[in-house]
Copies of this chain bind each other. A is one copy, B any other.
Amino acid sequence: MNFLELCKKRQSCRDFASMPVEREKLVNCIEAARLTPSACNSQPWSFVVVDNPEKAAAVAQATMQFGANAYIAAAKAFIVILEEHAVLMPKIRGLFDSQHFAQNDLGAAAMSICYAAEDQGLGTCILGLFDREELRRLLDIPAEKRFATVIALGYPADGTVRPKGRKSIEQIARFI
């Protein structure tokens, strides 16, 4: 499968199957994140990977805010992405705050995880809304550590690719 086919197939999974996720596949997701480029190779990330069934169920509860995201209850694993201090190169350091590029880099790492998961037959859903304090408690995450996103993972119950509601290339790109 070429990469563009992978992009077309990848979608936010709304229906996870009951099959558990192999630890090896989660390690491959982290490997993809690890190899992601970042500003000055600062690697401003760390990851908590949760596949213990009881812990995963508790993490799911902490992400199902406002009565929405009920489908997350069936996710079999989670990767919590945390923001770490970014050490930029000396010549860059004076120009930008250390964390200036961190959100961009964290988004890139999250995307690598989603593609690595999809390539291994796993569905993903990136979550931005969750009970941070509950996740700290459950996963022993220090109070000063900042969360980026949480990725829910599992095998999709249904392989159907939904149409993607996106703007057209003409709406988003200009060629010069």
Contacts and interface: CB of A to CB of B under 8 A. Distances in A.
Nearest to A129: B92
Contact of A4 (B12, B43, B108, B119): B119
Determine the interface band of chain A, counting residues with CB < 8 A from chain B: 35 or more
A39 interface: yes
7 contacts: A3-B6, A4-B28, A7-B35, A31-B169, A47-B172, A47-B173, A106-B107
A166 interface: yes
Interface of A: 2-4, 6-8, 10-12, 23, 26-28, 30-37, 39, 41, 43, 45-52, 55, 66, 68, 91-92, 95-96, 100-101, 103-108, 110-112, 114-116, 118-119, 126, 128-129, 139, 148-149, 164-169, 172-176
B36 A111 contact: yes
A112 to B, nearest CB: 6
A154 to B, nearest CB: 16
B43 A166 contact: yes
Question: Nearest 10 A-B pairs (CB), nearest first?
Answer: A107-B107, A103-B103, A104-B107, A3-B119, A108-B111, A107-B108, A47-B173, A111-B111, A7-B35, A49-B175
B6 A176 contact: no
Given A34-B166, A35-B164, A92-B128, 8 more contacts: A3-B119, A4-B32, A7-B116, A27-B169, A46-B174, A104-B104, A104-B148, A108-B108
